[in-house]
C-alpha cells in the first residue's frame, strides 16, 4: 500500500502543479456577482440607477473614492467623492482609487498606509460598511511596473491586516507584463482605440483592437473578470480632422448647432463657446462651423462578440461582468435584454 | 508684476525670428458687449481690497486680505498681518473682535479639507459644525451698526459651512432689507443665489448671477437656454429678467461669429447653413417685436442686437439705421455705448474712404478711447486667454486698427494710412501698458512695415516726417505711428527692401547711411558677423551655432562692416561686368560664365534658402519662400545664371561646379513625391522628367564622361553615388 503511494505521489504532485497552473490562469474572481463601476465625484443615485441595480441584480459597485495626483511634487488625494446618498444595503461598495502614473514614479510606498487608512476613514465617516476589498486603478507601464508592484505590496500589507482583498485594474497592453501582486484583476475592455483619429475605428471598443491581446488571456496568471463599456463619447474635430476636445453631453439634436451628416457624425454649423468645467478660460472649448462631432457608442452585438472571444480563451472571465459605468444616460443606451446578455453571456 | 508680464511677453514675441513671411493670427473678439464680461472676477475682490486699503492706509492690503486665512487665531495678538496689526495698534476693539471671529471661521473652514490625506472623522465634522454654530451665534449677537454688513456676511458663511441651505435662505430674507448696500451685502446675495440653486430655484438664482456678472455660473446653469427658444422663454417669464442681457449678448456674439465662419468657408448655402441663419433671422424679428411691445426697460439692447446681426447678415445699410435708432433708445449707459461701438464696427463693412467717412471714423476712434480709458481705470486691464492686454474696448480697437481697417485702407489705395493705423495702435497699446516708458514695435507693425515695397517705405517715411500733411485722420494717426523708428531704421529697411527687389544700385545710398552701431543691435548681426556670402553654399556649410534651428542664442554682435552694402556693391560690379565684359587689365581676364557662376553663388546665399538670408530679410523660416511684394526670386535668378554658365562654360572646372550647384539647389519639380489617402496610407511617386532628376542626371553623365578630371569632392558626394547606383530617391526635403 505504502509502496503504491510512493508511486502515486510524484504523479499527484505533477497533476497538482498542472491543475494549480490551470487554476491560476483561469480561476474565477472571488464571489463573482453582476457589477458596475461608479465614476462620479458625488455619490447620489437616481431612480433609474436604483432600478437598474435591482432589475439586474447588481451586487457590487466599484466606486471611485478619490484620485491620487501629484500636487507640488507630492502624491495627494484629488476629486474626493462626496457622499450625498447611500446605496441599497445589498449592494457592496468596493472603493477604487485611481492613481496617476507619475505618482508611481515618485515614491509612493510611504503613502500606502495613508491610502488604506483614508479609504477606511471615508467609509466610517460616511456610514459605509467597512469594505471587504480595495481596488487600485493605474495605467502602469513597463517603466513604472516595478515601483507600482512594490507599492501594491505595501498596500497589501495594510489591506491584509484589515482582512480586505486587494484587486487591480488591468489594461489590455498590461497583459504582456507580469501580473500585479493582487488577489484578482479586472480587465478593462474599453478605450481600446485612438480617440484622436477622425476616421479611425470605434475608440471605445472594436474587436479588431482587442484581438491581438486575446491569446494572452489563457496564460495570464491572475484571476480575472472583465469590464465592458456602456458609455458613449462625443469627440470634436476641426475642419482639418484634428482632434479638439471631448464634449460633455452636448445635445446633438439641436439643429441650430449641429447637422447630421452620417449616422454617427455631425457637422457643426454655428459658433459657440461651450461652458468650461473649470474657471480657467484658457481651457474653454470653442466649436465653430466646419468642425465635426463623432458620437461613439458600442453596439450591444460588438460587446457580446468581444465577450465570446475572451470567454473562448478564458472560460471564467465572464463569471463576473463589470459594466463601465453606472449612469442614467448609459443605462438608456441599451435594452434590458442586452444588459442581461452582458451580465450573463 | 502685470506690467512686467506684458513687457516680457511682448519682448518674447519681438524676439521671435521665424516670422519672415506671415502675420500672426489674432482672433476676432466679440464686439457686442452690453454686459461687461470682463467684470468677472472683479465683482467682489477689488471692492473688498478697497475697503481694507482705506482701513489700513496701506496699498498692499490686498495681500494681507488674501493671507488672513494663515493667521492663527491662538496667536492673533502677535500676528504680523497688516489688517490685524492695524486693528490692534489702533486699539480698535470692535474691529479686533470681528477679525478674531473671521480668522477663527477661516481656520475652522480650512481645517477640514476633503482632498487631504487625513480625511475628516465624524468627530471632526461634528466639531466643525459646533464651531460654525458658535461662530454663527457670535456673529448674530453683534448689536452694533458699523460692522453689521461684515457680521451678516459671516453669519451667511457659517450657515454655508454647516451646509444649512434653508438657514441661508431664511437669514437672507430676514436681513436683506436692513443690511447696508455694499460689497458685503453683494457677497451675501451671491451665497443666497447658490442656496436658491440648490433648492431648485434655478431661474431666481440665474437672475442674481446675471446681475452680479457671474458669467461662469450663468454659462453653465443656462447652457440649455443659449438659443432663441431660451431667450423667448426668459422673456415670457419676465421681459426685464437680468439673464436676458446675458442671453441676448451671447446669442449675438455667437451668431456673428457663425456668419463670419460660414462666409469664410464659402459654403454654397446648403440647408444646414440656412437653418442656423434662419434662427438669426427669427431672432432679429423677435428683438424688433420686443422693442415694439414696449415691455422691456432697455429697448436699446434689443434694437442694437437686431441691428448688429442685420449688418452681419449682409444688410448693412438697414442694420446701420437700426443701430442709429438703438443709440437713441432707453438702456444703460453701457448698452448705448455698445450700440455705438457696433455701429462703428459695422460701418466698416462698406466704408468708402471718403472724407466724410474718414471724419466719422476719426470721431468714433476718439470717442472709443474715452470709454476704454474709463473702463480700464475702473476694472484695470488684464491679459486675456491669448496672452494679450485685454479690455473690451481695447480688443475692439485691436481688431479695427490691426485687421479690419488696414485692409480697407489698402483697398482704397492708401498704403500710408493702412500702415499708420497699425503704427498708431502699436503706440496706443504702449501708452496703455506703460505710458511709453518702454518702446517696442509689435509684430503687427513689424509685419505691416515688412510688407511694404521700398518705394512704399520711402513714402511712409515721408508721411511720418510731415505730420501736417494728409487728411485729418492721417494727421491724427501720425501722432504716434513713427515714434519708435529713427533714421537708421528707415535707411536700413529701405536699403534691404531694394535688395529684395533686386535694385542693388538704389539700395547703396540708403545702406551707406546706416551706422554700424545700429546694425550691431539687430538680431541678424549675430549671423552677419559670422558668415560670408562669398562661400559657395554647395561646397561649404557655415555653422554658427550647434543647434541651428532650436537653441541658437542670437546675441546681437558688433560688425566691422555692413555686409548688405558690400553685397550690393559686388552685385552692381558683377552685373556691369557681365553686361560689359571688356577686361580693364588683360592679365586679369575672368570669363562671363565665371562671373555668372559667382553671381549665382552670392545671390543664392542671400536668398531665403541661403545662409546669408539676413541680407534680404530680418528673419528666416524653413517655410519661407518669395513672399514680398515686388520681390525678386533670388533662387530662380541663381538657377537661371547657373544654366547659362553650364551652357556657356568652356572650362571643365567651372562646368562641374555649375552642374553640381544646379543639382544642389532645390528648384523646380521633384523626383520623389508622396500622397496620402484618407487612412493616411502613403503612396510614392517618381518622375524622371522632373527638374531634380534631370539636373542629377546631367551631373552624373558629366562625371561619368570626365571621371579622371572631376574633383574628388564631387565624386565623393553620397547623393550622386546613390544616383549612380540607381537608389536615388530625391534629396530635397519631402513634403
The complex's ipTM?
A: 0.91
Q: List CB contacts (< 8 A) between B227 and chain A.
A: 254, 256
**CA pseudo-torsion sign B176, B180, B186, B191:** negative
Cα–chain-centroid distance for residue B697?
A: 48
Cross-chain Cβ contact B114/A82 below 8 Å: yes
Cβ of residue A267 closer than 8 Å to a chain B Cβ:
yes
Q: List CB contacts (< 8 A) between A78 and chain B.
A: 115
**Higher-confidence residue: A207 or B624?**
A207
Neighbours of B668 (CB within 10 A): 14
From chain B residues 95-124, the ones with a CB under 8 A of any chain A CB are 114-122
Cross-chain Cβ contact A125/B119 below 8 Å: yes
Cα–chain-centroid distance for residue B539?
A: 42
CB B478 within 8 A of CB B486: no
Is residue A138 located within the same domain as residue A199?
yes
Residue A312, in any domain of the structure: yes
Residue numbers of the domain that contains B470 = 2-25+352-485
Which residue among A125, A269, A279 sits closest to B273, beta carbon to beta carbon?
Answer: A269
Residue A294: pLDDT above 80? yes
Cross-chain Cβ contact A118/B223 below 8 Å: no
Residue A1, in any domain of the structure: no
Q: What is the pLDDT of residue B679?
A: 58
Mutate to test the interface with A, among B45, B115, B206 (most CBs of A within 10 A): B115
Q: List CB contacts (< 8 A) between B119 and chain A.
A: 77, 80, 118, 121-122, 125
Q: What is the pLDDT of residue B588?
A: 61
Is residue B417 located within the same domain as residue B430?
yes
Is residue A266 located within the same domain as residue A314?
no
pLDDT < 70 positions in chain B: 1-24, 37-43, 266-269, 379-390, 434-438, 480-484, 546-552, 583-588, 622-624, 678-681, 732-735
Buried b (16+ CB within 10 A) or exposed e, A292-331: bbbbbbbebebbeebbebbbebbebbbbbbbbbbbbeebb
Buried b (16+ CB within 10 A) or exposed e, B367-396: ebbebbeebbeebebbebeeebbbbbbbbb
Q: What is the pLDDT of residue B505?
A: 98
Is residue B346 located within the same domain as residue B356?
no
Q: Averaged over A201-209, what is the pLDDT?
A: 94
Cross-chain Cβ contact B279/A78 below 8 Å: no
Least confident piece of the model among A129-143, A183-197, B24-38, B427-441: B427-441
Q: Where are the beta strands (DSSP E) in B37-143?
A: none
Closest CA to A102 of A153, A144, A146: A144
CB A10 within 8 A of CB A298: no
Residue B259, in any domain of the structure: yes
pTM of the shown model: 0.83
Is residue A114 located within the same domain as residue A217?
yes
* Bridge partners, residue A295, by sequence: A234
Q: What is the pLDDT of residue B672?
A: 87
Residue A273, in any domain of the structure: yes
Strand A42-43 vs strand A74-78: parallel, antiparallel, or unpaired?
unpaired
Query: How many structural domains is chain A composed of?
Result: 2
Is residue B346 located within the same domain as residue B386?
no
Residue A7: pLDDT above 60? no
Is residue A85 located within the same domain as residue A111?
yes
- Beta carbon pairs, A and B, within 8 Å: 92
Is residue B231 located within the same domain as residue B326?
yes
Residue B134, in any domain of the structure: no
Is residue B633 located within the same domain as residue B700?
yes
Cross-chain Cβ contact B385/A290 below 8 Å: no
Residue B149, in any domain of the structure: no
**CA pseudo-torsion sign A111, A117, A120, A125:** negative
Is residue A253 located within the same domain as residue A147?
no
Residue A99, in any domain of the structure: yes
**Domain CATH number, residue A128:** 3.20.20.80
Which residue in chain A has the smallest CA separation from B387?
A282
Q: What is the pLDDT of residue B483?
A: 64
Is residue B721 located within the same domain as residue B626?
yes
Q: What is the pLDDT of residue B733?
A: 59
Number of residues written out for chain A: 345
Q: What is the pLDDT of residue A282?
A: 53
CA dist A60 and A87 (Å) reads 10
Neighbours of A130 (CB within 10 A): 11
Mutate to test the interface with A, among B261, B278, B679 (most CBs of A within 10 A): B261
CA dist B186 and B205 (Å) reads 13
Residue A3, in any domain of the structure: no
Is residue A215 located within the same domain as residue A108?
yes
Domain boundary among B333, B350, B367: B350
CA dist A41 and B596 (Å) reads 75
Is residue B338 located within the same domain as residue B364?
no
CA dist A336 and A54 (Å) reads 12
Is residue B269 located within the same domain as residue B342?
yes
**Secondary structure, 3-state, A46-80:** CHHHHHHHHHCCCCEEEEEEEEEEEECCEEEEECC
Residue B40, in any domain of the structure: no
Residue A235: pLDDT above 90? yes
Residue B13, in any domain of the structure: yes
Cβ of residue B265 closer than 8 Å to a chain A Cβ:
yes
Cβ of residue A114 closer than 8 Å to a chain B Cβ:
yes
Cross-chain Cβ contact A77/B115 below 8 Å: yes
Cross-chain Cβ contact B227/A256 below 8 Å: yes
Q: What is the pLDDT of residue B673?
A: 86
Q: What is the pLDDT of residue B441?
A: 82
Is residue B371 located within the same domain as residue B394?
yes
Closest CA to B446 of B127, B17, B6, B7: B17
Q: What is the pLDDT of residue A27?
A: 84
Residue A149, in any domain of the structure: yes
CA dist A138 and B251 (Å) reads 43
Is residue A100 located within the same domain as residue A247?
no
**Secondary structure, 3-state, B6-66:** HHHHHHHHHHCCCCCCCCCCCCCCCCCCCCCHHHCCCCCHHHHHHHHHHHHCCCCHHHHHH
Cross-chain Cβ contact B117/A121 below 8 Å: no
Q: Averaged over A277-282, what is the pLDDT?
A: 53
Is residue A246 located within the same domain as residue A225?
no
Domain boundary among B350, B377, B403: B350
A15-74 residue pLDDT tens? 444 443 334 567 889 999 999 999 999 999 999 999 999 999 999 999 999 999 999 889
Cross-chain Cβ contact B119/A118 below 8 Å: yes
Residue A6, in any domain of the structure: no
Cβ of residue B279 closer than 8 Å to a chain A Cβ:
yes
Is residue A251 located within the same domain as residue A180?
no
Residue B679, in any domain of the structure: yes
From chain B residues 517-556, the ones with a CB under 8 A of any chain A CB are none
What percent of chain B is helix, strand and coil (3-state, nearest 5)?
A: 65, 0, 35
Q: What is the pLDDT of residue B151?
A: 98
CA dist A252 and B589 (Å) reads 79
Residue B219, in any domain of the structure: no
* Bridge partners, residue B684, by sequence: B674
Helix (H) or strand (E) holding B383: strand B382-383
Domain boundary among B329, B350, B371: B350
CA dist B655 and B699 (Å) reads 10
Query: How many structural domains is chain B composed of?
Result: 3
Q: What is the pLDDT of residue A134?
A: 98
Is residue B418 located within the same domain as residue B313?
no
Cross-chain Cβ contact A80/B265 below 8 Å: no
Number of residues written out for chain B: 735
Is residue A216 located within the same domain as residue A266?
no
Is residue A254 located within the same domain as residue A114?
no
From chain B residues 678-707, the ones with a CB under 8 A of any chain A CB are 678-679
Residue A10, in any domain of the structure: no
From chain B residues 381-440, the ones with a CB under 8 A of any chain A CB are 384-385
- What is the pLDDT of chain A when averaged over all its residues? 90
Specify the DSSP class assigned to residue A206.
Answer: -
Cβ of residue A259 closer than 8 Å to a chain B Cβ:
yes
A68-91 residue pLDDT tens? 999 988 999 999 999 999 999 999
CA dist B476 and B468 (Å) reads 9
| A43 contact partners, CB below 8 Å, separation of at least 6 | A63, A81, A82, A83, A84, A85, A87
Q: List CB contacts (< 8 A) between B125 and chain A.
A: 125
Residue numbers of the domain that contains A317 = 31-232+297-343
Which residue among B121, B220, B258 sits closest to A289, beta carbon to beta carbon?
Answer: B258
Closest CA to B233 of B204, B203, B277: B203
Is residue A184 located within the same domain as residue A271?
no
- Residue B187's φ and ψ, nearest 5 degrees, are -65, -35
Amino acid at each position: 500500500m505504502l509502496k503504491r503511494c510512493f508511486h502515486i505521489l510524484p504523479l499527484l504532485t505533477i497533476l497538482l502543479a498542472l491543475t494549480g497552473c490551470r487554476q491560476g490562469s483561469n480561476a474565477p474572481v472571488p464571489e463573482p456577482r453582476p457589477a458596475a463601476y461608479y465614476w462620479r465625484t458625488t455619490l447620489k443615485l437616481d431612480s433609474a440607477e436604483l432600478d437598474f441595480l435591482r432589475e439586474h441584480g447588481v451586487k457590487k459597485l466599484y466606486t471611485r473614492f478619490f484620485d491620487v495626483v501629484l500636487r507640488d511634487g507630492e502624491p495627494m488625494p484629488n476629486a474626493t467623492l462626496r457622499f450625498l446618498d447611500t446605496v441599497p444595503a445589498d449592494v457592496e461598495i468596493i472603493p477604487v482609487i485611481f492613481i496617476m502614473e507619475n505618482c508611481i514614479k515618485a515614491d509612493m510606498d510611504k503613502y500606502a498606509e495613508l491610502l488604506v487608512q483614508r479609504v477606511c476613514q471615508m467609509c466610517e465617516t460616511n456610514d459605509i460598511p467597512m469594505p471587504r476589498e480595495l481596488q487600485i486603478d493605474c495605467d502602469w507601464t513597463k517603466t513604472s511596473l516595478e515601483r507600482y508592484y512594490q507599492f501594491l505590496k505595501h498596500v497589501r500589507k495594510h489591506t491584509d491586516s484589515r482582512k480586505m482583498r486587494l484587486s487591480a485594474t488591468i489594461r489590455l497592453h498590461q497583459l504582456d507584463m507580469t501580473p500585479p501582486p493582487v488577489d484578482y484583476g479586472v480587465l478593462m475592455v474599453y478605450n481600446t482605440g485612438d480617440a484622436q483619429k477622425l476616421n479611425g475605428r470605434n475608440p471605445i471598443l472594436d474587436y479588431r483592437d482587442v484581438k491581438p491581446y486575446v491569446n494572452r488571456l489563457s496564460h495570464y496568471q491572475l484571476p480575472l473578470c472583465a469590464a465592458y463599456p456602456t458609455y458613449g463619447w462625443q469627440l470634436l474635430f476641426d475642419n482639418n480632422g484634428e482632434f479638439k476636445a471631448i464634449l460633455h453631453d452636448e445635445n446633438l439634436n439641436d439643429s441650430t448647432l449641429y447637422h447630421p451628416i452620417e449616422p454617427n457624425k455631425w457637422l457643426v454649423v454655428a459658433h459657440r463657446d461651450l461652458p468650461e468645467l473649470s474657471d480657467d478660460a484658457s481651457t474653454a472649448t470653442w466649436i465653430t462651423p466646419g468642425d465635426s462631432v463623432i458620437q461613439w457608442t458600442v453596439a450591444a452585438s460588438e460587446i457580446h462578440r468581444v465577450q465570446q472571444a475572451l470567454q473562448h480563451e478564458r472560460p471564467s472571465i465572464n463569471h463576473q461582468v463589470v459594466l463601465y459605468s453606472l449612469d442614467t444616460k448609459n443605462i438608456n443606451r441599451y435594452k434590458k435584454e442586452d444588459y442581461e446578455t452582458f451580465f450573463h453571456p | 508684476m502685470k506690467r512686467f508680464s506684458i513687457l516680457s511677453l511682448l519682448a518674447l514675441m519681438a524676439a521671435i525670428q521665424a516670422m519672415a513671411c506671415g502675420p500672426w493670427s489674432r482672433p476676432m473678439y466679440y464686439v457686442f458687449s452690453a454686459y461687461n464680461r470682463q467684470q468677472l472676477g472683479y465683482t467682489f475682490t477689488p471692492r473688498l481690497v478697497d475697503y481694507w486699503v482705506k482701513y489700513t492706509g496701506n496699498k498692499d492690503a490686498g495681500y494681507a486680505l488674501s493671507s488672513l486665512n494663515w493667521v492663527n487665531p491662538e496667536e492673533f495678538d502677535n500676528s504680523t498681518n497688516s489688517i490685524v496689526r492695524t486693528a490692534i495698534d489702533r486699539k480698535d476693539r470692535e474691529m479686533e473682535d470681528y477679525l478674531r471671529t473671521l480668522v477663527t471661521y477661516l481656520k475652522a473652514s480650512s481645517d477640514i479639507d476633503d482632498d487631504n490625506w487625513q480625511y475628516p472623522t465624524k468627530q471632526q465634522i461634528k466639531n466643525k459644525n459646533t464651531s460654525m454654530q458658535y461662530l454663527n451665534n457670535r456673529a448674530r449677537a453683534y448689536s452694533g451698526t458699523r460692522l453689521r454688513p461684515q457680521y451678516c456676511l459671516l453669519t451667511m458663511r457659517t450657515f454655508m459651512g454647516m451646509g444649512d441651505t434653508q438657514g441661508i435662505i431664511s437669514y437672507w430674507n430676514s436681513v436683506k432689507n436692513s443690511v447696508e448696500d455694499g460689497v458685503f451685502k453683494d457677497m451675501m446675495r451671491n451665497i443666497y443665489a447658490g442656496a436658491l440653486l440648490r433648492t431648485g430655484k434655478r431661474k431666481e438664482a440665474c437672475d442674481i448671477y446675471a446681475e452680479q456678472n457671474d458669467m461662469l455660473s450663468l454659462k453653465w446653469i443656462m447652457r440649455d437656454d443659449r438659443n432663441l427658444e431660451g431667450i423667448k422663454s426668459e422673456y415670457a417669464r419676465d421681459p426685464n429678467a437680468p439673464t436676458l442681457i446675458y442671453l441676448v449678448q451671447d446669442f449675438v456674439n455667437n451668431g456673428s461669429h457663425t456668419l463670419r465662419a460660414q462666409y469664410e468657408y464659402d459654403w454654397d448655402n446648403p440647408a444646414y447653413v440656412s437653418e442656423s441663419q434662419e434662427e438669426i433671422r427669427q431672432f432679429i424679428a423677435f428683438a424688433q417685436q420686443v422693442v415694439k411691445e414696449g415691455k422691456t426697460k432697455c429697448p436699446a439692447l434689443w434694437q442694437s442686437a437686431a441691428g448688429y446681426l442685420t449688418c452681419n447678415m449682409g444688410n448693412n445699410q438697414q442694420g446701420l439705421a437700426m443701430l442709429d435708432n438703438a443709440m437713441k433708445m432707453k438702456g444703460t449707459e453701457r448698452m448705448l455705448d455698445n450700440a455705438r461701438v457696433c455701429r462703428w464696427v459695422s460701418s466698416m463693412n462698406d466704408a468708402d474712404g471718403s472724407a466724410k467717412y474718414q471724419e466719422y471714423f476719426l470721431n468714433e476712434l476718439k470717442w472709443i478711447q474715452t470709454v476704454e480709458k474709463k473702463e480700464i481705470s475702473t476694472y484695470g486691464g488684464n491679459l486675456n486667454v491669448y496672452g494679450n492686454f485685454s479690455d473690451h474696448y481695447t480688443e475692439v480697437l485691436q481688431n479695427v486698427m490691426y485687421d479690419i481697417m488696414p485692409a480697407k485702407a489698402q483697398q482704397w489705395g492708401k498704403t500710408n494710412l493702412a500702415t499708420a493705423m497699425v503704427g498708431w495702435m502699436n503706440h496706443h497699446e504702449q501708452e496703455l501698458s506703460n505710458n511709453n516708458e518702454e518702446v517696442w514695435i509689435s509684430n503687427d507693425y513689424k509685419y505691416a512695415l515688412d510688407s511694404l515695397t521700398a518705394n512704399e517705405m520711402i513714402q511712409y517715411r515721408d508721411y511720418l516726417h510731415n505730420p501736417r500733411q494728409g487728411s485729418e485722420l492721417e494727421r491724427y494717426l501720425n501722432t504716434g505711428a513713427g515714434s519708435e523708428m529713427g533714421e537708421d531704421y528707415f535707411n536700413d529697411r529701405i536699403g534691404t527692401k531694394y535688395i529684395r527687389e533686386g535694385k542693388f544700385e538704389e539700395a547703396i545710398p540708403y545702406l551707406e547711411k546706416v551706422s554700424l552701431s545700429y546694425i550691431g543691435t539687430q538680431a541678424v548681426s549675430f549671423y552677419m558677423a559670422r558668415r560670408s556670402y562669398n562661400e559657395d553654399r554647395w561646397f561649404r556649410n557655415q555653422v554658427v551655432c550647434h543647434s541651428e534651428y532650436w537653441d541658437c542664442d542670437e546675441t546681437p554682435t558688433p560688425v566691422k562692416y555692413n555686409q548688405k552694402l558690400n553685397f550690393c556693391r559686388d552685385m552692381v560690379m558683377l552685373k556691369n561686368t557681365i553686361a560689359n565684359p571688356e577686361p580693364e587689365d588683360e592679365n586679369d581676364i575672368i570669363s562671363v560664365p565665371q562671373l555668372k557662376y559667382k553671381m549665382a553663388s552670392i545671390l543664392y546665399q542671400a536668398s531665403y534658402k541661403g545662409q546669408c538670408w539676413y541680407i534680404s530679410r530680418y528673419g528666416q523660416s524653413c517655410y519661407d519662400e518669395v513672399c514680398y511684394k515686388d520681390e525678386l526670386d533670388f533662387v530662380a535668378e541663381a538657377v537661371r545664371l547657373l544654366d547659362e554658365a553650364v551652357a556657356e562654360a568652356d572650362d571643365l572646372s567651372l562646368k562641374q561646379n555649375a552642374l553640381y550647384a544646379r543639382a544642389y539647389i532645390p528648384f523646380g519639380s521633384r523626383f520623389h513625391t508622396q500622397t496620402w489617402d484618407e487612412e493616411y496610407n502613403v503612396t510614392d511617386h517618381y518622375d524622371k522628367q522632373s527638374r531634380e532628376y534631370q539636373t542629377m542626371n546631367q551631373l552624373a553623365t558629366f562625371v561619368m564622361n570626365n571621371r579622371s578630371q572631376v574633383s574628388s569632392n564631387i565624386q565623393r558626394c553620397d547623393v550622386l553615388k546613390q544616383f549612380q547606383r540607381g537608389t536615388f530617391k530625391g534629396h530635397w526635403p519631402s513634403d
